[in-house]
């Protein structure tokens, strides 16, 4: 009985303390708000978008930003703000899908080569050296070139390149965790390697990986919208920020808002993820002790 | 001075990495659905021409043999013929490469001049208002894709204010500097955000280091402490960072060349992709890898010049 | 002790160093007063965080600009606390030199040892390059580095830990300072090397007539090396006296506790005494005596009233309200064992 009364209030209070500490940092509070809002926009664009993003309005072609159309209208009279809001769906999806598979694969591979070392580790090291010899974007678009443009192929291409970065990070973390006392204790107790890796080492190695993941989602949005702009990612008529910017490119002189307004969404979301990443890096850093 | 044996050892290290790079590129084209020979040939090529390509690539032979042929061709500088430009790939690339290298160097110089002084200012007054403003501005810069920075600069400085040309490439050094300022600035703004972040952190660390305290206790002048003890040590990590961000820089020039219509290898890569010019894509991918390797090598040499601890092979 | 008044070279009067904002300052060192006589070795003892290092760095003014120094630092009659950077630079390295705790991180890894010596000579002497080289060789020789002439071109990482500490001493001594501030110079070294470095400092002090302030947390080092001792706790001074006075006849409960924590003439397996509790955080110091929270004989007034320094013997001063109780308490404890 007393054990329950003792531990019950302890856990939530520690979690609450962490949340309290997190939100007392402006970078976390701002980043969290931006990302929460972005997710809401991605899930319920119809609630937030003032107009139908696809409705042509020939009476309101290329109108400059105004109260009625805060981001202006495009060459078909569509409301740019509404198109930007609907594009949250694709771009937030990019942040997730361009990173989550790379994370899963990379962490698994990194954990195994880090734990076992040996020949697998040597081969892994060589592969990493070779892959980082290509500029990230060049390798991704070369793979897209072979697979063909489109969102799914873009995710595949990014994952093929990106897992290496997660694997490298995980490997380094596991290597340092491996020599710790609790890993040795696990071995003495006769736990299986898999149990030691996934139950003991990996949870302790996760903090830097999560921090990197946040930053990487910001990078994924930059990369995905760049590919969209170049015509290799999301394909028109899909609303995606890079695609929207690309569509406005020919109207920079007459209707600059068509290109420049969608970019604000990229900057804001990217900022949200990187602020969150920075704040988490500070919060999760082990205290010197 | 780094020893000859150090340099040789470093050069030898490149070989296995580069073989693997070639394996990737080799497999990349073979990932193509269908017959690579047809993919590598012009659309209206005759059967005999396709057969010729098939023979050149050794497609009628086992994969390892094909790879050896590929390596042999590459080493001798034979990267095949570009389909869309109807010219040897090597020739086409060498023709466009100087523009890209110029743009990349220009960007690096701008980025360093932009980030260096500001990082110093921010580091000397950590957490002051100056520091916070500088960091915030660059945090936003870090969230801007290069193509968007380019478009903003293009709209505001070239199209509206008409300060700079909207694109293209000049003739002669000064004209190039003038023509390429916006594209270089687009890449530089993004790169400088990365440099600033790291340089500020390493400057803060160095300013607090024991050897700087010791140098102060020796009664050295501020100028000597700053140049000989602080900057020199911060430079080591900055050079490392610059070297490591060469990939970023290349990705950035690829995008910026497209935005500003600059005839470099980056734009060529995109043109090749849309034209499905696989020999050219293959050759360009290899070129980028070579560029990055050369920069990695140079970085290591400069580092060993700066830091005596790294001079042992 | 032949003359009743040896020549004083450095005198601190109510030294106070604080960091952070002016509204909520973090006081690292407060009301430190002691003097250093020509040619003597003064030990400055205390736990980590007691303000020993900050005291040394305040003397040279290298806590600036982040730290603010108040009080007087009288160096041969001149107040260093009132000098500006430019004037201080002429004192640093030339008249007062300093060596640091970590020989690994205190030498610039990118510069040759020869350059790190000669930049000191450039700043403080008019020697030409050739003379600087000769002087650098002489210095390395003096601190006991074998093959000194051939090692000027070597980098710090090419020396062992003990050798690096010797190099640091050589650099510090380049311009013949009259006072050496040594900040735990042996803490990072092996015990055998520690002993060599202490002997080196001792013999240099004797041969060059140079005064030394030796910061340490090790009472053994003090007993072996120092002429006089000042004990610090929580950024304040609690006891000052000659080494024999403080070691054999300590009066402050903290000094007594510190001495009890080193084993002397005890039977094997006797548990070591340790002062209960942990050193206070700088922002949580009481207005009264800093040690009151851990003191076995503290009374109610100790928390609010700062004990004044009282002379208990020639050269021997203690800051404690209850020094007789303290003595009785610790004698009793000793008897009980």
CATH value at residue C34: 3.40.50.300
A203 has pLDDT over 90: no
Shared-domain flag, residues C200 and C70: yes
Domain termination residue (choose one: C118, C147, C176): C176
Domain termination residue (choose one: C176, C197, C212): C176
Q: What total number of domains does chain C contain?
A: 2
Shared-domain flag, residues C108 and C216: no
Written as six digits, the tokens of C52 are 């020993």
- Is B148 in Cβ contact with A275 (below 8 Å)? no
Written as six digits, the tokens of C71 are 């009080």
- Is C111 in Cβ contact with B217 (below 8 Å)? no
- Is B142 in Cβ contact with A266 (below 8 Å)? no
| pLDDT bucket at A140, cuts 50 / 70 / 90 | very high
pLDDT score of A2:
41
Shared-domain flag, residues C135 and C268: no
A105 has pLDDT over 80: yes
A15 has pLDDT over 60: yes
Which chain B residues contact residue A229 at CB under 8 A? 145, 147, 255
Shared-domain flag, residues C293 and C213: yes
Q: Which of A132, A142, A230 comes nearest B247 by C-beta?
A: A132
Tens digits of per-residue pLDDT, A247-275?
Answer: 888 888 888 888 888 999 999 999 999 99
- Is B219 in Cβ contact with C91 (below 8 Å)? yes
| 0.85 surpassed by complex ipTM | yes
User: Residue B78: left if φ>0, alpha if ψ -120 to 50, beta else—which one?
Assistant: beta
**Alpha carbons B122 and B131: distance in angstroms, whole number:** 4
Q: Which of B216, B221, B229 comes nearest C108 by C-beta?
A: B229
Contacts with A, B 223-252, CB within 8 Å: 246-251
pLDDT score of C111:
93
Shared-domain flag, residues C81 and C221: yes
- Is B232 in Cβ contact with C100 (below 8 Å)? no
Say whether residue B299 is in contact with chain A using an 8 A CB cutoff. Answer: no
Q: Give a yes or no: residue C48 inside a domain.
A: yes
Q: Give a yes or no: residue C108 inside a domain.
A: yes
* pTM of the complete model beyond 0.95: no
Cis peptide before A237 (omega within 30 of 0): yes
Q: Give a yes or no: residue C3 inside a domain.
A: no
Which chain B residues contact residue C60 at CB under 8 A? 216-217
**Alpha carbons B248 and B245: distance in angstroms, whole number:** 5
Query: How distant is the Cα of B102 from the closest Cα of chain A, in angstroms?
Result: 17
- Is B258 in Cβ contact with A226 (below 8 Å)? no
Q: List the single best residue of A38, A129, A269, A276 to mutate versus B (max B Cβ within 10 A).
A: A129
pLDDT score of C181:
94
**Alpha carbons B201 and B237: distance in angstroms, whole number:** 10
Shared-domain flag, residues C88 and C109: no
pLDDT score of C215:
93
Shared-domain flag, residues C247 and C276: yes
- What is the 3 state secondary structure string of chain B? CCCHHHHHHHHHHHHHHHHHHHHHHHHHHHCCCCCHHHHHCCCCCCHHHHHHHHHHHCCCCCHHHHHHHHHHHHHCCCCCEECCCCEEHHHHHHHHHHHHHHHHHHHHHHHHHHHHHHHHHHHHCCCCHHHHHHHHHHHHHHCCCHHHHHHHHHHHHHHHCCCCCCCCCCCCHHHHHHHCHHHHHHHHHHHHHHHHHHHHHHHHHHHCCHHHHHHHHCCCCHHHHHHHHHHHHHHHHHHHHHHHCHHHHHHHHHHHHHHCCCCCHHHHHHHHHHCCCHHHHHHHHHHHHHHHHHHHHHHHHHHHHHCHHHCCC
DSSP for chain A, written as a single string: -HHHHHHTTHHHHHHHHHHHHHHTSHHHHHHHHHHHHHHHHHH-HHHH-SS-TT---TTSTTPPS-SSSTT-B-TT--BHHHHHHHHHHHHHHHHHHHHHHHHHHHHHHHHHHHHH-HHHHHHHHHHHHHHTTS-HHHHHHHHHHHH-SSHHHHHHHHHHHHHHHHHHHHHHHHHHHHTSHHHHHHHHTT--HHHIIIIIIHHHHHHHHHHHHHHHHHHHHHHHHHHHHHTSSSPTTS--HHHHHHHHGGGTTT-THHHHHHHHHHHHHHHHHHHHHHHHHHHHSPP--
A7 has pLDDT over 50: no
pLDDT score of A4:
41
Shared-domain flag, residues C214 and C306: yes
Shared-domain flag, residues C44 and C188: yes
Q: List the single best residue of B147, B255, B266 to mutate versus A (max A Cβ within 10 A).
A: B147
Domain termination residue (choose one: C176, C205, C230): C176
Q: Give a yes or no: residue C1 inside a domain.
A: no
Q: Give a yes or no: residue C269 inside a domain.
A: yes
Q: Give a yes or no: residue C166 inside a domain.
A: yes
Q: Give a yes or no: residue C2 inside a domain.
A: no
pLDDT score of B2:
60
Q: List the single best residue of C96, C102, C105, C106 to mutate versus B (max B Cβ within 10 A).
A: C106
Arithmetic mean of pLDDT, A199-228: 89
Written as six digits, the tokens of C248 are 């054999």
Which residues, given as ranges, of chain B have pLDDT below 50? 313
Question: Strands C8-19 and C26-37: what pairing?
Answer: antiparallel
Kindly tell me the burial class for residue A150, based on how many C-beta atoms sit within 10 Å of its own C-beta (0-12, 13-18, 19 or more).
middle
pLDDT score of C2:
47
pLDDT score of A289:
29
Say whether residue C281 is in contact with chain B using an 8 A CB cutoff. Answer: no
Q: Give a yes or no: residue C42 inside a domain.
A: yes
Shared-domain flag, residues C318 and C219: yes
Task: Name the phi and psi angles at B81, rounded to 5.
Answer: -110, 140
pLDDT score of A256:
86
Shared-domain flag, residues C168 and C223: no
| pLDDT bucket at A239, cuts 50 / 70 / 90 | confident
Contacts with B, A 87-146, CB within 8 Å: 126-127, 129-139, 141-146
**Alpha carbons B225 and B213: distance in angstroms, whole number:** 10
Predicted confidence pLDDT, tens digits, chain C (337 residues): 445 567 889 999 999 999 888 888 888 898 899 999 999 999 999 888 788 889 999 999 988 778 899 999 999 889 998 999 899 999 999 999 999 988 888 999 999 999 999 999 999 988 999 999 999 999 999 888 998 889 999 999 999 988 999 999 999 988 889 999 999 888 878 888 888 889 999 999 999 999 999 999 888 888 889 999 999 998 889 999 999 888 888 888 888 888 877 766 667 777 777 777 777 777 778 888 888 888 888 888 888 888 888 888 888 999 988 888 888 888 887 776 6
- Is B217 in Cβ contact with C93 (below 8 Å)? yes
- Is A131 in Cβ contact with B145 (below 8 Å)? no
Neighbours of chain A (3+ CB pairs under 8 A): B
Shared-domain flag, residues C69 and C200: yes
Which range of residues forms the domain containing residue C324? 8-95+184-336
């Amino acid at each position: 009985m007393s054990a329950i009364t003792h531990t019950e209030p302890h856990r939530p209070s520690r979690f609450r303390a962490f949340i309290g500490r997190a939100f007392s940092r402006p970078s976390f509070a701002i980043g969290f708000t931006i990302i929460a809002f972005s997710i809401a926009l991605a899930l319920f664009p119809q609630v937030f978008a003032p107009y139908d993003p696809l409705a042509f309005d020939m009476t309101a072609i290329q109108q400059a930003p105004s109260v009625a159309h805060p981001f202006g209208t495009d060459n078909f009279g569509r409301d740019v703000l509404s198109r930007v809001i609907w594009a949250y769906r694709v771009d937030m999806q990019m942040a997730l899908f361009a990173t989550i598979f790379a994370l899963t694969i990379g962490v698994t591979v990194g954990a195994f080569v880090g734990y076992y070392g040996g020949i697998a580790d040597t081969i892994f090291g060589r592969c990493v050296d070779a892959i980082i010899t290509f500029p990230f974007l060049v390798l991704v678009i070369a793979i897209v070139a072979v697979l063909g443009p489109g969102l799914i192929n873009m995710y595949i291409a990014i994952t093929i390149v990106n897992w290496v970065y997660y694997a490298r990070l995980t490997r380094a973390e596991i290597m340092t965790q491996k020599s710790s006392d609790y890993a040795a204790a696990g071995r003495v107790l006769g736990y299986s390697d898999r149990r030691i890796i996934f139950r003991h080492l990996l949870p302790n190695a996760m903090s830097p990986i999560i921090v990197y993941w946040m930053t990487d989602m910001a990078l994924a949005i930059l990369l995905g919208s760049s590919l969209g702009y170049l015509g290799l990612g999301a394909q028109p008529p899909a609303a995606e920020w890079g695609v929207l910017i690309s569509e406005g490119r020919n109207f920079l002189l007459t209707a600059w808002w068509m290109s420049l307004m969608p970019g604000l969404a990229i900057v804001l979301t990217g900022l949200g993820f990187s602020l969150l990443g920075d704040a988490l890096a500070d919060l999760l850093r082990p205290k010197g002790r | 001075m780094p020893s000859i044996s150090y340099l040789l050892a470093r050069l030898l290290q490149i070989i296995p990495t580069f073989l693997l790079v070639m394996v990737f590129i080799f497999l990349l084209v073979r990932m193509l659905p269908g017959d690579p020979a047809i993919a590598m040939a012009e659309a209206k090529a005759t059967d005999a021409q396709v057969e010729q390509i098939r023979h050149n690539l050794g497609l009628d032979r086992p994969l390892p043999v094909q790879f050896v042929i590929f390596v042999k061709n590459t080493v001798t500088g034979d990267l095949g013929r570009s389909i869309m430009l109807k010219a040897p790939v090597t020739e086409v690339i060498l023709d466009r490469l100087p523009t890209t290298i110029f743009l990349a160097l220009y960007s690096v110089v701008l980025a360093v001049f932009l980030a260096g002084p500001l990082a110093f200012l921010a580091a000397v007054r950590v957490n002051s208002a100056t520091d916070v403003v500088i960091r915030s501005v660059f945090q936003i810069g870090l969230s801007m894709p290069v193509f968007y920075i380019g478009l903003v600069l293009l709209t505001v400085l070239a199209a509206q204010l008409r300060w700079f040309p909207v694109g293209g490439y000049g003739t002669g050094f000064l004209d190039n500097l003038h023509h390429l300022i916006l594209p270089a600035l687009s890449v530089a703004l993004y790169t400088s955000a990365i440099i600033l972040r790291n340089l500020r952190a390493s400057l803060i660390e160095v300013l607090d280091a024991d050897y700087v305290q010791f140098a102060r206790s020796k009664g050295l002048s501020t100028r000597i402490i700053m140049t000989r003890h602080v900057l020199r040590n911060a430079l080591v990590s900055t050079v490392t960072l610059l070297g490591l961000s060469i990939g970023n820089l290349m990705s950035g020039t690829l995008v910026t060349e497209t935005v500003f219509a600059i005839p470099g290898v980056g734009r060529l890569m995109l043109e090749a992709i849309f034209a499905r010019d696989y020999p050219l894509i293959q050759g360009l991918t290899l070129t980028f890898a070579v560029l990055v390797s050369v920069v990695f090598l140079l970085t290591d040499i400069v580092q060993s010049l700066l830091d005596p601890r790294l001079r042992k092979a | 002790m032949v003359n009743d008044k040896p020549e004083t070279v450095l005198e601190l009067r109510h030294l106070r160093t604080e960091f952070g904002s002016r509204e909520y300052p973090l006081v690292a060192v407060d009301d430190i007063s002691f003097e250093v006589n020509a040619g003597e070795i003064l030990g400055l003892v205390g736990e980590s965080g007691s303000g020993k290092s900050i005291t040394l760095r305040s003397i040279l003014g290298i806590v600036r600009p982040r730290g603010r120094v108040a009080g007087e630092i009288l160096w041969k009659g001149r107040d260093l606390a009132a000098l500006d950077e430019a004037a201080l630079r002429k004192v640093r390295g030339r008249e007062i030199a300093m060596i640091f705790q970590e020989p690994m991180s205190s030498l610039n890894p990118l510069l040759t040892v020869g350059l790190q010596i000669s930049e000191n000579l450039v700043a403080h002497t008019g020697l030409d390059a050739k003379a600087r080289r000769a002087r650098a060789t002489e210095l390395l020789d003096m601190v006991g580095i074998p093959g000194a002439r051939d090692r000027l071109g070597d980098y710090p990482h090419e020396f062992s830990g003990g050798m690096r500490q010797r190099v640091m001493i050589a650099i510090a001594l380049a311009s013949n300072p009259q006072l050496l501030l040594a900040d735990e110079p042996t803490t990072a070294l092996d015990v055998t090397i520690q002993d060599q470095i202490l002997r080196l400092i001792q013999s240099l002090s004797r041969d060059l007539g140079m005064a030394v302030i030796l910061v340490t947390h090790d009472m053994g080092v003090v007993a072996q090396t120092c002429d006089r001792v000042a004990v610090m706790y929580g950024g304040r001074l609690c006891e000052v006296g000659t080494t024999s006075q403080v070691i054999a006849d300590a009066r402050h409960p903290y000094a007594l506790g510190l001495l009890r924590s080193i084993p002397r003439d005890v039977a094997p397996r006797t548990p070591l005494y340790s002062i209960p509790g942990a050193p206070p955080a700088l922002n949580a110091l009481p207005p009264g005596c800093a040690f009151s929270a851990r003191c076995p004989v503290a009374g109610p007034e100790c928390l609010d009233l700062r004990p004044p320094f009282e002379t208990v013997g020639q050269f021997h001063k203690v800051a404690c309200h209850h020094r007789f109780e303290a003595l009785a308490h610790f004698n009793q404890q000793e008897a009980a064992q």
